[in-house]
């Protein structure tokens, strides 16, 4: 048997089988019905393949042979097969070189290169493609298995007498195609792997492959429910203009095909877990409203496509391979735009709106930035000849120029780094510095004048509300009896110590998926870190080690500005174990920090069998059962029945309903808050099996936590005996505790272990009081003398807390 190398897709069908299912899951839009006008081939009357052939002929994928005939029993060549597959699945990219027997200019050369680039088919053993050789059933099965990424676990059974799926080189993909229902054997228990595929078989096989792929849309209209969200387990391919996708969560890819032409496609509340490929669309555009996309790949071969993002849309990355017009309105988040070196020389790209990072790799690119802002724009060494046209309403916060380029227009550039020669500016950036790859005396052109790069910064302007101060006259010579000596300058004042600064870190989302970004704002300027919960975020040396290893990311941030960390940039992280992270911001003086918790979930991981249980001593006391996936309440279950409680001395569990406390599901956590009178010194909590479910249907196992102890109570005796108090600096607070332990009066922003709290006590930021068992339940005092004003907690270690506000 001649083996084929590197083949990629899978499936085939018995020649005598008639298949009548709908291709790609949905054949008509949700809002309209249509009548399919078929062009019936003369030789298909009563033929078993008639329905599949006419469906795909009507969709513009299958073509006839000659004289109004289809020739269903004629064999299909390898060249015809890749052309059919490429046309169906919109595979157009041509990066691979053609084999020696595929001549440039031949009718199939482009499709062969596209097929090899996609990787679903390979060259034969002698390094040729053999385009005119008939395609075998084995080859068809393997190519479709690869294309659809079917599971190719080696089978331990042999389904066919003439093809041992457990030992043949292509046994696994063929078996996968059979298991997926794409391929069947013959009545005599044979597979006939070397039998040539007929045109009729190919049509039905494409129909089945399309069904396995997902949803194929060939008619205009709305697709998706008017309310709620529908899950699409496969991919979606749009092959016509005038289509609106709404309220869909697509597990695979979204393909906007080249047959969309110059027309429009709209996405409303659509989430795409895979890639979004844009092969079609015109100057009026692809509209994205309130949707969440991971990667958009723009690859329209002819003309320019316009993509407009609106509302609370998030896009992790846009990869631009052909000319494009991208617009991101305020409120939209676009993490990164890659203008690749696949863009032909002198291509034009337009970016209007708000983008975090833009990387220019294309040679001699014309980049138009009429309005909006770009956080960081990097011109790579390969992007020589780039022209950046900036409009009056545009702003680039950080510009890095690693190649000869021209920055035209009057847009504002806050900071530019010159790392190449032959840089030209129409208008001076606010600040300019010289990079490490060029001499310090490198010159740039500003407004037609050659100046040293370091002197190219725009002069600081006086505030618009005040006129510039006039130049002071030179001081006159002294006229009196001090011998011409001037008075000695006054001594410089002793600087005040920098106070501890409370830092507030706010997250846009408290849960994200791997590959997405974590967006946040800080109340002050400082240094931000994102770290796994297993790393001590309250210890700067530990964070520094994490940065070095790649487990921690860091950046400088400005107060009030929206910042982000990309989870794809984190290295050496096992998301199966590490899904709880902290975003921490340290004040520039390191006198204060704040942190916020975020969960980062790998949607491909299984739900952990046993959750991590956290016990919190807040008011009220509560627990969390922490899982590694986003959770929801399982179908048919109620929150007040999924948890059970057993107190010390009781023999059986009782249902944890509202008489015992509350249960809440947030992100990947189940929060359990018992009423105080239900907590003895020992108790057990059970989360019942099948109580919660992940987005892909995984259910939890039963989990029992305990025996456990409730937190030690602390009571305020002074200041009205409330659960919180406002006190004046220097006042004494009177309190009592239920059991002996260590009591701290410390700023709320402090966190960490005993060593961290004791260090803050030694530095004068906090107070400490050790309580013996004999002092339990007796009146005790702690002074606020020497503490700054602000928000504090009075708490016993391992127990409850009382909020204290200290005022001047």
What mean pLDDT is predicted for residues 692-703? 89
**pLDDT above 60 for 71:** yes
How high is the pLDDT of residue 2?
Answer: 29
User: What's 747's DSSP letter?
Assistant: E
Q: How confident is the model at residue 580 (pLDDT cuts 50, 70, 90)?
A: confident
Give yes or no for a contact between 379 and 386, defined as CB atoms under 8 angstroms apart: yes
The residue from 412, 440, 455 where one domain ends is 455
Residue 686: CATH number of its domain: 2.60.40.1220
Residue with tokens 């309403």: 393
Cα dihedral 85, 91, 97, 98 sign: positive
- Domain end residue (candidates: 213, 243, 271): 213
CA-based nearest residue to 291, from 254, 262, 322: 254
Which residue's structure tokens are 């494409």?
Answer: 206
Tell me whether residue 677 is in a domain.
yes
CA 594 from chain centre, in angstroms, equals 24
pLDDT tens digits, one per residue of 513-546:
887 889 999 999 999 999 988 787 877 878 888 8
pLDDT digits (tens, 9 = 90+) for 550-564: 889 999 999 998 888
**Residue 139 and residue 283 in one domain:** no
Tell whether 362 and 382 lie within a shared domain.
yes
| 9-64 pLDDT tens trace | 222 222 222 222 223 333 334 433 333 334 468 788 888 888 888 888 877 788 87
Looking at the structure, do residues 88 and 203 belong to the same domain, yes or no?
yes
Question: For residues 93 and 779, which has the higher predicted lDDT (pLDDT)?
Answer: 779
Q: What is the pLDDT of residue 456?
A: 67
32 within a domain of the structure (yes/no):
no
Residue found by looking up tokens 């006039």 in the block: 470
Residue 173 belongs to a domain: yes
* Residue from 701, 683, 685 nearest 693 by CA: 701
Structure tokens at 56: 């795909």
Rg of the chain taking only CA atoms, in angstroms: 34
Distance CA 79, CA 131 (A): 5
CB atoms inside a 10 Å sphere around CB 226: 9
Q: What is the pLDDT of residue 775?
A: 93
Q: Given 176, 192, 213, which residue is the final one in a domain?
A: 213
**Within 13 Å, how many C-alpha atoms sit on residue 281's CB side?**
30
Q: Are residues 133 and 195 in the same domain?
A: yes
Model pLDDT for residues 607-654, shown as the tens digit of each residue: 888 888 887 765 567 888 988 888 999 988 998 899 998 887 788 898
Domain match, 82 and 181 both: yes
Q: How far is CA 38 from CA 35, 41, 44, 49, 53, in A?
A: 9, 9, 12, 14, 10
| 428 plus 314 within the same structural domain | yes
Per-residue pLDDT at 483: 34
HEC-encoded secondary structure of 517-531: EEEEEECCCEEEEEE
pLDDT of residue 530: 94
Domain count for the chain, please give it: 5
Residue of 351 and 273 predicted with greater confidence: 351
Rounded Cα distance between 61 and 260, Å, is 14
Of 465, 461, 459, 426, the closest CA to residue 444 belongs to 426
CB atoms within 10 A of CB 158: 15
Angle at which helices 78-89 and 137-147 cross, to 10°: 30
Residues 209 and 220 in one domain: no
Evaluate whether 244 touches 225 at the Cβ level (below 8 Å): no
Q: How confident is the model at residue 589 (pLDDT cuts 50, 70, 90)?
A: low
Each residue of 550-559: b (16+ CB within 10 Å) or e?
A: ebbbbeebee
Q: What is the pLDDT of residue 459?
A: 54
pLDDT tens profile 202-237: 888 888 888 887 888 988 999 999 988 898 888 899
* Euclidean distance between the first and the last CA atom of the chain, given in angstroms as a whole number: 90
Q: Which two tokens stand for residue 508?
A: 């846009």
Asked if residue 442 and residue 314 are part of one domain, the reply reads yes
Q: Taking residues 72-76, what's their average pLDDT? A: 88
Whole-number average pLDDT of the chain: 81
Return the H-helix or E-strand segment holding 118: helix 109-118
Lookup: tokens for 798: 């391992």
- For residues 124 and 87, membership in a common domain is answered with yes
| CATH number for the domain harbouring residue 771 | 2.60.40
The torsion angles phi and psi of 779, rounded to 5 degrees, stand at -65, 130
Residues 6+ apart with CB under 8 A from 205: 11, 12, 13, 140, 144, 182, 183, 197
Q: What is the pLDDT of residue 153?
A: 63
Q: Which residues, 6 or more positions from 83, have their beta carbon under 8 angstroms from its beta carbon?
A: 108, 111
Q: Say which residue, 304 or 496, is predicted with more confidence.
A: 304
Strand pairing category for 254-256 and 511-513: unpaired
- How many whole angstroms separate alpha carbon 168 and alpha carbon 129? 22
User: What are phi and psi for residue 225, nearest 5 degrees?
Assistant: -70, 155
Contact between residue 754 and residue 761 where contact means Cβ atoms under 8 Å apart: no
Tens of pLDDT, residue by residue over 599-616, are 998 877 788 888 888 877
How would DSSP label each residue in 583-634?
EEEEETTSS-EEEEEEEEE-TTSPPPSS-EEEEE-SSS-EEEEE-SS--EEP
In this structure, is residue 33 part of a structural domain? no
State pTM to two decimals.
Answer: 0.54
| 593-601 sheet: strands from edge to edge | 511-513, 593-601, 580-587, 526-532, 553-557
426, part of any domain: yes
328 C-beta neighbours (distance < 10 Å), count: 24
CA pair distance 267, 272, nearest whole angstrom: 10
Q: Note the pLDDT tens digit of each residue in 159-185.
A: 787 887 766 777 778 887 887 778 788
d(CA 398, CA 805): 41
- Residues 512-541, buried b or exposed e (16+ Cβ, 10 A)? bbbbbbbbbbbbbebbbbbbbbebbbbeee
Residues 244 and 222 occupy one common structural domain: yes
Residues 219, 364, single domain; the answer is: yes
Give pLDDT tens digits for 703-735.
988 877 777 788 899 988 877 889 998 999 999
**The pLDDT value given to residue 677:** 66
Answer whether residue 634 is part of any domain.
Answer: yes
Name the residue range of residue 752's domain.
Answer: 714-807
pLDDT digits (tens, 9 = 90+) for 375-424: 899 999 999 999 999 999 999 988 999 999 999 999 999 888 999 999 99
Q: What is the 3-state secondary structure (H, E, C) of 15-38?
A: CCCCCCCCCCCCCCCCCCCCCCCC
Residues 396 and 429 placed together within one structural domain of the fold: yes
Per-residue pLDDT tens for 441-468?
A: 888 888 888 878 766 666 544 333 333 3
- On whether residue 577 sits in a domain, the answer given is no
Confidence of residue 501 (pLDDT cuts 50, 70, 90): low
Whole-angstrom Cα distance, residue 139 to residue 126?
16
Least confident interval from 251-265, 433-447, 672-686: 672-686
Q: Confirm whether 471 is domain-assigned.
A: no
Q: What percent of the chain has pLDDT over 90?
A: 29
Please report the pLDDT score of residue 676 as a whole number. Answer: 64
The whole-angstrom separation of Cα 194 and Cα 185 is: 13
Q: Could you tell me the two tokens for 196?
A: 């040539």
The pLDDT of residue 122 is above 60: yes
Give the range among 404-418, 549-563, 678-692, 736-750 with minimum mean pLDDT: 678-692
| 184 or 590, which is more confident | 184
């Amino acid at each position: 048997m001649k083996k084929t190398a590197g083949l990629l897709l899978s499936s085939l069908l018995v020649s005598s089988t008639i298949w009548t299912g709908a291709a790609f899951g949905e054949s008509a839009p949700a809002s309209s019905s249509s009548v399919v006008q078929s062009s019936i081939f003369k030789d298909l009357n009563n033929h078993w393949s008639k329905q599949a052939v006419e469906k795909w002929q009507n969709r513009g994928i299958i073509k006839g042979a000659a004289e109004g005939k289809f020739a269903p029993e004629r064999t299909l060549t390898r060249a015809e097969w890749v052309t059919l597959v490429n046309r169906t699945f919109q595979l157009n990219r041509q990066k691979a070189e053609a084999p020696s027997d595929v001549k440039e200019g031949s009718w199939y050369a482009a499709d062969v290169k596209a097929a090899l680039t996609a990787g679903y088919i390979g060259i034969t053993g002698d390094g040729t493609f053999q385009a005119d050789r008939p395609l075998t059933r084995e080859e068809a099965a393997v190519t479709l298995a690869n294309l659809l990424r079917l599971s190719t676990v080696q089978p331990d059974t042999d389904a066919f007498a003439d093809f041992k799926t457990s030992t043949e080189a292509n046994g696994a993909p063929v078996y996968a195609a059979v298991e997926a229902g794409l391929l069947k054997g013959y009545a005599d228990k044979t597979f006939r792997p070397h039998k040539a595929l007929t045109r009729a078989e190919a049509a039905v096989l494409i129909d089945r492959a399309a069904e396995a792929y997902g949803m194929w849309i060939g008619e205009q209209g709305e697709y998706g429910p008017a309310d709620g969200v529908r899950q699409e387990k496969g991919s979606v391919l749009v092959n016509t203009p005038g289509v609106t996708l709404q309220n869909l969560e697509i597990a695979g890819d979204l393909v906007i095909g080249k047959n969309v032409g110059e027309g429009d496609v709209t996405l409303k509340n659509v989430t795409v877990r895979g890639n979004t490929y844009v092969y079609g669309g015109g100057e009026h555009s692809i509209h994205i409203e309130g949707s969440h996309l991971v990667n958009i790949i723009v690859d329209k071969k002819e003309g320019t496509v316009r993509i407009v993002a609106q509302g609370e849309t998030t896009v992790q990355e846009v990869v631009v391979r052909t000319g494009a017009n991208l617009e991101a309105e305020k409120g939209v988040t676009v993490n990164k735009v890659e203008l690749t070196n696949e863009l032909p020389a002198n291509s034009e790209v337009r970016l209007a709106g708000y983008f975090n990072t833009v990387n220019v790799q294309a040679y001699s690119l014309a980049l138009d930035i009429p309005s909006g802002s770009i956080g960081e724009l990097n011109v790579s060494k390969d992007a020589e000849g780039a022209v950046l046209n900036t409009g009056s309403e545009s702003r680039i916060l950080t510009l890095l120029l690693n190649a000869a380029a021209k920055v035209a227009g009057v847009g504002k550039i806050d900071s530019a780094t010159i790392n190449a020669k032959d840089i030209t500016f129409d208008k001076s950036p606010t600040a300019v510095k010289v990079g490490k790859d060029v001499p310090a005396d490198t010159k740039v052109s500003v407004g037609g004048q050659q100046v040293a790069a370091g002197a190219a910064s725009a002069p600081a302007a006086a505030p618009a509300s005040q006129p510039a101060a006039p130049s002071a006259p030179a001081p006159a010579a002294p006229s009196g009896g001090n011998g011409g000596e001037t008075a000695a300058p006054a001594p410089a004042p002793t600087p005040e110590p920098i106070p501890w600064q409370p830092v507030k870190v706010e997250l846009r989302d408290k849960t994200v998926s791997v590959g997405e970004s974590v967006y946040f704002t800080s109340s002050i300027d400082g240094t931000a870190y994102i770290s796994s919960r297993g790393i001590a975020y309250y210890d700067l040396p530990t964070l520094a080690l994490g940065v070095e290893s790649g487990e921690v990311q860091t950046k400088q941030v400005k107060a009030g500005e929206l910042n982000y960390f990309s989870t794809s940039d984190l290295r050496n992280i096992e998301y199966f174990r590490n899904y709880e992270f902290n975003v921490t911001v340290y004040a520039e003086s390191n006198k204060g920090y704040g942190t916020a918790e975020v969960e980062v979930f790998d949607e491909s991981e299984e739900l952990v069998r046993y959750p991590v249980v956290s016990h919190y001593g807040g008011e009220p006391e509560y627990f969390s059962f922490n899982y590694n996936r986003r959770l929801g309440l399982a179908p048919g279950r109620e929150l007040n029945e999924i948890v059970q409680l057993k107190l010390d001395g009781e023999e059986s569990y009782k249902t944890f309903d509202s008489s015992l406390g509350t249960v809440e599901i947030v992100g990947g956590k189940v929060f359990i808050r018992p009423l105080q009178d239900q907590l003895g010194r020992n108790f057990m909590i059970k989360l019942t099996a099948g109580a919660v479910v992940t987005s892909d249907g995984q259910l939890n196992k039963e989990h029992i936590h305990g025996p456990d102890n409730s937190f030690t109570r602390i009571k305020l005796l002074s200041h009205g005996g409330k659960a919180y108090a406002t006190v004046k600096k220097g006042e004494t607070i009177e309190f009592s505790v239920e059991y002996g332990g260590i009591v701290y009066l410390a700023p709320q922003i402090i966190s960490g272990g005993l060593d961290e709290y004791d260090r803050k006590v030694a530095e004068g930021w906090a107070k400490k009081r050790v309580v013996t068992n004999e002092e339990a339940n007796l009146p005790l005092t702690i002074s606020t003398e020497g503490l700054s004003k602000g928000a504090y907690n009075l708490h016993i270690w391992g127990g409850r807390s009382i909020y204290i506000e200290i005022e001047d």
